[in-house]
Chain A
């Protein structure tokens, strides 16, 4: 599957929203289940969304020829 910047950014945005929702739930309802979900699943999803965002930036930089391919002349 071709990595498309826009698609990656949309995926990253959705994952970030999910992580933020878990965080907000744990703040509004400070009980064990919301807190543990935020501190485990929320952290994983949030970190993954940021990695996807970085990937989109790298693709964008390569596209703008700021980052050259290794095999480029």
Chain B
């Protein structure tokens, strides 16, 4: 099966289209419910980051989602020409403070780290027209202990 791909402006109005693409990918690859759930979660978090932050303060450019199988995993790649953001620089999520102080900032990257098998990031080069590239690897085998 060839890689599946979609390219659309990274706008809030296109969120449903990007999320629908992930459901399509999970369905086409016959993912079990548990791994499809993980795939949807991590791609949604990554896509919303680009939509909300990548092109902040300027007209939204394109976001390309590509998905392919690689051995025991589905690999989804996001490419955009917005502001570079290496997930390694994301602040740690607040998991411990009490409800009054609790913030959900950083939770998206936390979920991505927890639910992927591997994350890779390469900042783009605007001068060369090279996009930022985030690669998310999600194992197809169900994870245990999820109840």
A interacts with B: no
